[in-house]
Amino acid sequence: MSQTIQLNPNLDIEKFSKIFQNVGRVHIPEILTPESAQKLYEALKNDVPWQSNFNDGEKGYTLHQIQIDAMDDVQRHLLNTHINEKAKYDFQYIFNAYSLSDAREQKLNQHLYINQYLDFVNSEEYLDFMRAITGFKEASFSDSQCTQYRAGHFLSDHSDDVGGKNRLVAMVMNLTPNWRPDWGGILQFIDDDGHISQGITPSFNALNILKIPQKHSVSYVVPHAGGARYAITGWLRKGQPPKI
């Protein structure tokens, strides 16, 4: 499969690297060529076989579309009530997702255009770019999942620091056009006093990079949001890449 996704050749790598080194995160607008970003957005909107992801404590669950369609209104209400009750006091999330890394490992849906993104973030060009921005010369591979936040979706505060995963930074490739900040879905950074130190609105063709560990969340998407919040998230990691 030929790679057609390309970095914007006019990026100021030195500028973004200085920001990352100073604050441990950086927002890079116009990260891809316009053609690359548009094709990815269209693939997310039209082709991805979305699944509903949520957790109950430390255990994660995935509902496939056929399972979602089989639920009646009472079952949906009970599930949403349970999730919202758990969110009052514990780590909780619910959003739609599709793991490009898992699909590659399981050899599922490899004809879809969106799979080229996984090849892109594991190309030497991209890895060298990330090493230059972050200073992590030991970075060796990336993993990726597509995400879609709709009304009622959220991701409560966490740090992405999972034992054994060897994660260096988290990466959020935003591909949402015309998003208003009052619709929610804001990437929020939380300081040691429990205050939101920074909030980044989803924007089209922009990459957010954040050093791990770092406490952050995605705010609740309100019922009147005028569409879905699309992104491809993942982690830059060190160590031996998986054999696929």
Ordered by where they begin, the domains of the chain are: 13-238 (3.60.130.20)
Q: Give the mean pLDDT of 164-188.
A: 96
Percent pLDDT > 70 in the chain is 98
Q: Give the mean pLDDT of 28-47.
A: 98
Confidence band, pLDDT 50/70/90 cuts, at residue 3 = low
C-alpha separations of 92 from 58, 82, 118 in Å: 9, 11, 27
- Residue recorded with tokens 């054994």: 164
pLDDT of 1: 42
Confidence band, pLDDT 50/70/90 cuts, at residue 80 = very high
Q: Is the dihedral of CA 82, 88, 93, 94 positive or negative?
A: positive
Q: Give the mean pLDDT of 95-101.
A: 97
Task: Encode pLDDT of 99-153 as tens digits.
Answer: 999 999 999 999 999 999 999 999 999 999 999 999 999 999 999 999 999 999 9
Report the predicted TM-score, pTM, of the whole model to 2 decimal places: 0.94
Q: Which of 118, 127, 140, 135 is nearest to 240 (CA)?
A: 140
